[in-house]
Structure 1
Amino acid sequence: MKDEAELPTGVEVYRFGAAGDRTVTDRAGTRPLGADEDLLRFIDDGQLAHYFVGDARTSPERPSNATYKLGVVAPHSAFTPHAHGGEHFVLSLGHASCGLFDERRDTAVDLRLTPGTMVRIPAMMPHSFGNRATTPLLILAANTGFGIDHEDYAITAAEADRRGAVELTKALLALEERAPDLTTTWRERVASRLRRLASRVDGSP
C-alpha cells in the first residue's frame, strides 16, 4: 500500500490473498499478519486465529461477549467437530468444506464452500470446517453482540443529536455532507468481470 502515511491514526487495512497470505497496513507500514503474537491456537494444533474484536477469554460473563476473528486453516485439514453456545457467521475466503449435523433428520450434511461464501450456524449445532486446498484457508468468523433492533446497533446523526452527543453528531453530519465516490476505475471493472468469470468456472453462484 503506497499511501499508508495518509491513514488516520488507529486505522488498519487488512489484505487477504488468494494463496492464504495476509497483511496489515497502518501508518507504520505494511507487515505480514502471522507473527507469534498475532495468531493463537484455534481449537486444534496447526489451526490459528487472530481476534479483531474480543479475545480468547471472551464469554457471556464478560461485557465483550461479541467476537470477530480471522481463522487460518492448514492445507487439507479440518477442525475437530464442535458446537458453540451462540450462533455465528463464517465467511470463507477459499475452498472450504463445512460439515453440519441436522438434528431434525438425524444426519450429517456436507457443504462445499467457495471463496466469498458465508454460512450462518445456529447455536449448539455440531459442525466442523475443513480446507480443501493446498494453500492455507482464511475464514472470517463473527459472533454478534447487538441485534439490529438494539438501540445501540446503528446510531445515526439524528439519534446522536437526540442523546446530546455533540461531537458524535458533528462527525456523523460531516460524513453525511461529504458525497461518497461511487465510481469504479476501468481496472476495477475488468477485475470484476474476471472474478465473475472465475466464479462461474469455480462453480460459485
Structure 2
Amino acid sequence: MRSVKGTEALPAGVELYSLTADGTALLTSRTGRGDLLDAGALLPFIDRGQHARYLIGDALTSPERPSNATYKLGLMRGHSAFTPHAHGGEHFVLSLGYAACGLYDDERQEAVTVRLTPGVMIRIPALLPHSFVNRGAGRLLILAANTGFGIDHEDYAITAEEAERRATAEPSKNRATAEPSNNGTALDYPALAKALRAVGSAPSPGVMSWRERAAQAARRIAVRLEGSA
C-alpha cells in the first residue's frame, strides 16, 4: 500500500473535508480545492442568518421522499443561538467549536444545559425540545445528522409557536406524523410548547472561558503546523 500526497493522487470520487474550530471548511478532490461554505451552496438552517451545506439528503427529504437521513454542515454566527425546537426524528450534532446545547428534561420538568467543545457529539432523541448556542465570537461549524427529515418538512423543526398553532388545529392534524415510538397516538402539543418555552427561557450558557480561549489559540497553531489536507 502506497501513501499518497497531493490532490492529483486521490482516487476518482474521493473527497477530503478539512474542518476547523475556527470555522473554515475546505473540500479537496482530484480536481482541486474549494470552499464548502460557498454562498451558492448554502441553504437556510432553522433561523434567518444561519446556513447549512447538505452532504447527504436535501431540504425535501421526508418519510414520503426518503434518503434515510440528512447529513449537513451547519454554519452559525458568532454568539448566536437557534430558536428552541424539536425534530420529528432523532438528531446527532458534532460540534467543531465551543457551543452549548439546551435540553428539556421531562422527568425533572426543567431545562438543562450541556456545554460542548470541539470534537464532542451529542445525540438528541426525536421530539426532545432543544436549542444550540455558539459561545464563541467567530463562526461555528457543526455537523448535523437527522433521520428522515429535510429542513423543508413540517416536522423537521417544531417551534413553540408551531406547537401552539397545532394545539388549536383540528384533531385529525394534531398528531405525531413521524415518530414510531408514539405508536400513532396524538402528540401533546401544549406540553411540547411549554417545554420549548422553558428551553428558551433558560439562563444563558455564557461565553468561552479563558481556558477554552487558550485551547482555541493552541488549536490554531496546530492547524498551521500541520498544514491543510
In the superposition, the TM-score normalised over structure 2's length comes to 0.61
2:43 to 35, 40, 44: 40
Equivalent residue in structure 1 for 2:144, among 141, 146, 149: 141
Match of 2:80 in 1: 77
Q: 2:10 is matched with which residue?
A: 7
* Highest RCO, 1 vs 2 (Cα 8 Å, sep ≥ 6): 2
How far, CA to CA, are the matches of 1:44 and 1:65 in structure 2? 24
Large movers: runs of 4+ above 2 Å: none
- Unpaired runs of at least 5, structure 2: 149-213, 220-229
1:113 aligns with 2:116: yes
Instruction: Give the structure 2 partner of residue 97 of structure 1.
Output: 100
| CA distance in 2: counterparts of 1:42 and 1:130, whole angstroms | 14
> How many angstroms apart in 1 are the aligned matches of 2:114 and 2:18?
26
- The aligned residue for residue 132 of structure 1 is 135
Question: C-alpha displacement at 1:11, in angstroms?
Answer: 1.4
Q: CA deviation at 1:63?
A: 2.6
Match of 1:28 among 21, 27, 31: 31
- Tell me what 2:180 maps to: none
CA distance in structure 2 between the aligned counterparts of 1:56 and 1:104, rounded to whole angstroms: 33
1:61 aligns to what? Answer: 64
Q: What is the alpha-carbon distance in structure 2 between the residues aligned to residue 84 and residue 144 of structure 1?
A: 9
5+ residue gaps, structure 1, are 146-196
Following the alignment from structure 2 to structure 1, what is the Cα–Cα distance between the partners of residues 48 and 126? 24
For 1:85, what is the secondary structure of its paired residue?
coil
Structure-2 change in CA distance of 1:132 and 1:93 (3 Å): same
Q: How many residues align?
A: 150
Displacement of 1:35: 1.5
Question: How big is each residue's C-alpha offset from its partner over 1:144-178, in whole Å with a ceiling of 9 and x where there is no partner?
Answer: 57xxxxxxxxxxxxxxxxxxxxxxxxxxxxxxxxx
1:87 aligns with 2:90: yes
For residues 43 and 147 of structure 2, the distance between their equivalents in structure 1, rounded to whole angstroms, comes to 21
Shift of 1:129: 0.5
SS in 2 for 1:5: helix
